[in-house]
Structure 1
Amino acid sequence: MSTALTLPTLSVGDSIERYVQRVNAFPMLSPEEEHDLAIRHQEHNDLDAARQLVLSHLRVVVSIARGYSGYGLPQADLIQEGNIGLMKAVKRFEASRGVRLYSFAVHWIKAEIHEYILRNWRLVRIATTKAQRKLFFNLRSMKSSFAALTHVQAKEIADDLGVKPEEVLEMETRMTGQDVSLVADDGDDEGYAPIDWLADSHSEPTAVLARNRLDELQSVGIGAALDALDERSRRIIEARWLTDDGESSTLHDLAAEFNVSAERIRQIETKALQKMKQALLPAMV
C-alpha cells in the first residue's frame, strides 16, 4: 500500500512548521466518513479511500512524534517513521470492530517510532527485550530531574513498572552512558584511547612460545624430515609445497621431469608426506 499512496513528505530544506501546516490542511473525518472509507478500502481495495484515511490522520503522527523529541533524533525522521506505522494501521483497520482509526493507529505509530529510536539512538543496542523497551521509554519521563536516581526513587519507578530496582538502575546507566570511540581521533596526540589499553593477544606468553615452537619446527624439524627422504621424493615435495615464489609445480610438470605418470607422482608425494609426518610427530609432543 505504501508504494501506491502519494503523501506529503519532509524534503531537504523543508521546515517542520511548513509540513505541519500542510498536514493540518487535510480535514478530519466524521465517524460516518471514516467508516465508509474503511469499508471501501477493506472490501474493494480502494487505494483512494486508504489515502484519505492516512491524510486525515497525519496530524496525529506529528503530535505523537513530538513526544519523542528528547532523544536527540531528527524530528523529520521520527515523523516519517510514524507515517509508516500509520499506513500499516490503515492497511489492517477493520471498521466493523467499532473502534475509531485514531485509537487503533496509535499503537502502530508508536511501534515504528520506537523501533527507529532503538536502532539509531545508540551504536550499541540498549533495549532488546519487551520489558527493557517498556523501561527505556518510560524511565526518561518518570525521572524528576537529570540527577542520578537514588535507590528509593529507583524502587518507586520499579514498583510502578513491575520490574526490579536493579533493572531500573542498569537502564539509567545505559541511557546516560556515551558512545566512546575505540580509537583516538585523528590528530589527537594527547591521552590514550581505549584501544591502547587492550591486551595484544600476539604478545601473550603462551602464544609467543607457540610461535617460537612453530618456527623451530619449520626451520629445523622440516629440514630433518626432508633429509629422511630420497632425492626424488624430496624434489617432489619441495617443488609442490616449498617453493619460494609460491608457484608450485603441477603433477604433470613433475611427471614430465621424471618421465613417469602424474598418478605415480601423486603416489610418491603422498608417501613422502606421510613419512615426513611420522618424522615430525616426536618433535611436536
Structure 2
Amino acid sequence: MDRPDEDLLASAGDGAGPRRLLGVRQAIALIVGVVIGAGIFKSPAIVAGLSGSADWMFAMWILGGLISLVGALCYSELTTAYPHPGGDYHFLHRAYGRSTAFLFGWARFAVITTGSIALLAFVFGDYMQQALPLTILPDGWGAVAYACSVIVVLSLVNLRGLRTGAGTQMWLTLAEIGGLLLLSLAAAFFTDPAPAAAQAQAAAPLSFGMAMVFVLLTYGGWNEAAYISAEVRGGAAGMVRALTFSILIITTLYLMVTWACLETLGMQGMARSE
C-alpha cells in the first residue's frame, strides 16, 4: 500500500500539478531577489580583511560566481528531470528515502527558512529604524516593529497567489538592483578615489578558505529555483536560462558593489568598515 507521502509526490507529477505561470524573466527576478540580500552589504568588508589584496578579493568573488554557476547548472538538470514543487524535499525523497526528506522538511520549516526570514527582517528593521526612526516606541522596539511589519505584509502579498507574489518580487528586485547600480555609479562619478594602499601579500590558505565561506554564503539561495521548476514556462530550456542569467546578473552586481567600496574606501577602509 502506498504511503500518503508517495501519493502526494505522484499527484504533483500528473495533471493535478501546478500550472506553468512563470516566464523566464519572472523566474530570474525571483532567483535574483532571493540571492541578493543583506550579505552583500556585510561580506565585502570581511572578504577585504581576509583577502590580503584587491586582486585576490576580486578573484574570490569571481570564483564564487563560477562555483555558483556550476551548481546552478547541476540544479537545472535536476529540476528539469524532476520538476516538482517539493524542490529539495523531492530530490532527497527520491535519492535517500522518506526519513531523510522528512527531517530536511522539518529542518527547513523550523530552522532554515525561519531563521533566514528573521535575519533579513532584522537587518531591514535596523536600517529602517536609522532612516525613519519610530520615536513613539521604546528604544530597540522600532526595528522590531519594522521587521514584524515587513514579514506580515510580504506574507499577505504571497498569500494572494503566485502571480501577485511574482509581480511584487519583480518590482522589489528591480528596486534592489537599481540601488546597487546607483551605489556603483556614485562611486564612479561623485567620489574621489581612495588612496592606493601598498600591495599586500596573497591571502594565506586559511584566510582564503574563510573568505570563500562568506563569498559563497552571499551567493547562496539560487537552489530555491527548485521550488518553482514546475511552474516555469519553457521547461528545461526555461530553467537553464533563468538560472544562468540569474547567476551572471548577481556576479556582475557583486563585482560592481565590491569595486565601488574599494574605489571609495580603499582596501584598509573596507576591512575596517562595518
Which structure's CA Rg is the greater one? 1
TM class, shorter-length: under 0.3
Q: TM-score, normalised by structure 2?
A: 0.20
Q: TM-score, normalised by structure 1?
A: 0.19
